[in-house]
Amino acid sequence: MPQTAFVKASTDEIDIYFAVDNLLGARSAKYNGRLLYEGIDYVNVLSLDSSGTNDTARYDEGQTRFVGGYVRVRAKAGSDATDYALVCRIVTTETQQIDIRCLIQVRDQLPSS
């Protein structure tokens, strides 16, 4: 179960910032013996419902950005009264896979206008 939860309306688009700088370890460089930090090779975004099914309509992967030690992921859409897990899947330059999750709760609390 993700430790952080966000509540949004089904029509909202929100940006979630996942902290990543503390996840990347120092590595000794083979050619000069200096310490370098592991880097991010690429990021995939997933939006998983209670059955574990990914739905690309609930996020905009094209809006994913690296911002000063964070990965910004845009969450959107979803059905009212439904929860899903937004996953930021990081693959590092050392081929390590790290999944960071948060809970998105979709709640349409006001009547549509």
* pLDDT, the chain, mean: 91
| Single pTM value for the model | 0.86
| pLDDT tens-digit readout, 18-59 | 999 888 877 766 667 677 778 899 999 999 999 999 999 999
| pLDDT tens-digit readout, 77-103 | 999 999 999 999 999 988 999 999 999
Question: Quick check: 37 and 95 in contact, CB under 8 A?
Answer: no
CA 44 to chain centre: 8
CATH of domain 5-106: 2.60.40
Q: What are the percentages of helix, strand and coil residues in the chain, rounded to 5?
A: 5, 55, 40
